A and B are shown apart, each in its own frame.
Chain A
Amino acid sequence: MLKVDTEKCTGCGECEESCTFDAIFVKDGVAVVDHDVCTLCGICVDGCPEGALELHVEAGAFATDLSSWKGIWVVAECRGGDLASVTLELLAKSRELAAELDAEVTAVLMGQGIESKARELIFHGADRVLIVDHPELATFTDEVYGNILSDLAKRERPEIILAGATAMGRSYIPRVATILETGLTADCTGLDIRSKDKALLQTRPAFGGNLLATIVCPEHRPQMATVRPHVMKAKAPDPVRKGEVIRIVPRKSLLGHKVQVLESVKEQAEGPNLSEADIIVTAGRGFEQEKNVELARELADLLEGTVGSTRAAVDAGWLSSRTQIGQTGVTVSPKLYIACGVSGAIQHIVGMQGSEIIVAINKDAEAPIFDVTTYGLVGDVKEILPLLIKRIQKERGL
């Protein structure tokens, strides 16, 4: 509960200014809290110049000896025989964090026939690799992967566990955090160590990227985060790096699962998959007809990118729903996002505004998409795209 010390409060209004939720305001010269709205985030407490606000928190149920948890773990992900790019990105980031914590970096690798990947993990920054190679891990199930990871974490007590915010990571890492009764910050785009207490500062977007929040996990261990692919930078492998490989045989009791994988189907995606693509060309309503969408495909192929869509393009039947970017589709953050004939409904914008460079092509110079673009072109996509394709072909000497 947020308490106001009415003796100390001068009614300056700092708290009212700082509150995200309009939960505290000055009335008759003193701060008043609307407890139905207050989320106890504590931002006003830190900002109060008089020290008049206090967040009264009962001691948590899981007081734990923080110093007994050591080391950084990266949960490696192997799909179709290759390590996911986010795994290598996390190893590079972990080396930076490890330098500040004076800690070891451990990669945890689960799967079948994955032994050969251990070296790669070491070359990219792991000091140790815990490898669990078992036929039951050939296909991913939340139960088995989650059981093994939480069992290992309980026994080894790492201080930090990082995983990719992939379909797989977002599915089973929350289960692990719940089993370990600890905090988990989803979809982080920034990780840092706070100098005063060595806490892991986890920055993540919320409200579709319109708000960024930095989060800590002060009294629970491990500190857990999933991290968006493509945000951190992987380092080039160092083939002389040495590390330890530890093989783990999972206990039988951890291998039981009630969910059976009957079939795994790879869909012929148009180019690389959306969440990992460096370049995305998105087709919106402005294409007017299905046949014009071919222009978006052509541009995407030329740039070795992939095609995304808006709700309007999916509803029109031009592109499949799995290509839909936005609030009820996929969230993407490629290096280059080219929105073609996309008006920029907020539901679309929240799914792509984290992109590095955003190019928009639209007939309407007032279209909301231009509010978030890096470069804006005003014109008909049917006229501009063929010109752009030709220009790029010329650049490439095609």
Chain B
Amino acid sequence: MNIVVCIKQVPNAKTVRYDTEKGTLVREGVEAIINPFDFHALEAGLHLKDAYGGEVTVLSMGPPQAENALRESLSLGADKGVLLSDRAFAGADTLATTYTLAKAIEKLGPVDLVLCGKQAIDGDTAQVGPGLAARLGLPYVTCVNALSVMDDEKTIQVRRINEDGYDILELEMPALLTVLASINTPRLPSLKGKMMAGKAEIPIWDAEGIGAKPSMVGLTGSATRVVSTWVPTFEARREMFGGSAEEQVDALVSRLKAAGIL
């Protein structure tokens, strides 16, 4: 089974601080991590490889330092990592990102399953998975939290979570899935894996290398533009009640009554 897992390097929410005056992130001291959902996509891929054989390729578009995310994936058991990095890719929205990823996946050759996390925790758009499937002409299911391969090793059954419950869906590979965190518990890297990952060659593909049209990648290929950003503030409205438990409950009830909730 040939599996491609798409991952993104994102800032660790724990270490990000926000500058309310500038309306921006403070990038200093921010640790870069693999997007949490993508760990689960990778685990799902590795799990299938363990059961059915094949190869797991991890693909990431990002600046040169995103190589670290790929090495970490290799240490967990991925067979190959490919970094899509080119200044021409900068400023890509989801439209340009899906184009770029699709070109790279086409270059990788026949694939049975493309796995993505539900969304990245920085952009939170959840658009790359479905958009990539549309580009590749693959059937897809989003928000998957259970996956099983049928006896023919071609058909898969998945559970898709929605607001009211879940659906059980069946589709034939090749296909694309986006996964929730509840699908599995990611493994930890082995010492051997870490050593292999440290030595592995990670090819870097640029726009030309994947045969991408310059007009379709990065900011040029993006349909959306950011006009402004700002940091919302909460401090102004905060009120801590004091006194006994009874007094605090009284204070809360009066506020909720004033707000029309009680």
**Residues on A close to B: CB < 8 A?**
1, 17-22, 35-43, 55, 57-62, 79-80, 139, 142-143, 146, 166-168, 170-172, 174-175, 177-179, 181-187, 201, 205-220, 257-267, 269, 273-276, 279, 303, 321-322, 324, 327-329, 331, 335-336, 346-347, 350, 353, 357, 359, 365, 370-379, 383-384, 387-388, 391-392, 395-396
Contact = CB atoms under 8 A, between A and B. Distances in A.
Interface of B is mostly: mixed
Contacts of A43: 226, 228-229
Nearest to B64: A36
A39 B91 contact: yes
Contacts of B24: 18-20, 211
Question: Across chains A and B, which 9 residue pairs bring their CB atoms closest together, nearest first?
Answer: A183-B223, A40-B91, A328-B181, A20-B24, A258-B139, A183-B224, A174-B130, A178-B134, A267-B165
Nearest to B259: A357
Most chain B beta carbons < 10 A, residue from A35, A275, A373, A375 = A375
B169 A179 contact: no
A58 B218 CA distance: 10
A260 B155 CA distance: 11
B196 interface: no
A183 B222 contact: yes
Contacts, number: 303
A216 B226 CA distance: 6
A387 B142 contact: no
Interface string B148-172: 0000000001001111111111111
Most chain A beta carbons < 10 A, residue from B143, B167, B222 = B167
B135 A61 contact: no
B248 A267 contact: no
Contact of B226 (A215, A324, A359, A392): A215
Interface string B124-146: 11111111011100011111010
Contact of A181 (B93, B95, B125, B182): B95
Nearest to B173: A258
Contacts of B93: 183
Contact of A208 (B124, B130, B172): B124
Interface in B175-215: 175, 180-182, 213-215
A40 B252 CA distance: 47
Contact of A213 (B16, B180, B182, B229): B229
A80 B256 CA distance: 33
Contact of A35 (B23, B90, B249, B253): B90
A376 B222 contact: no
Contact of A212 (B225, B230, B249, B262): B230
B94 A212 contact: no
A210 B231 contact: yes
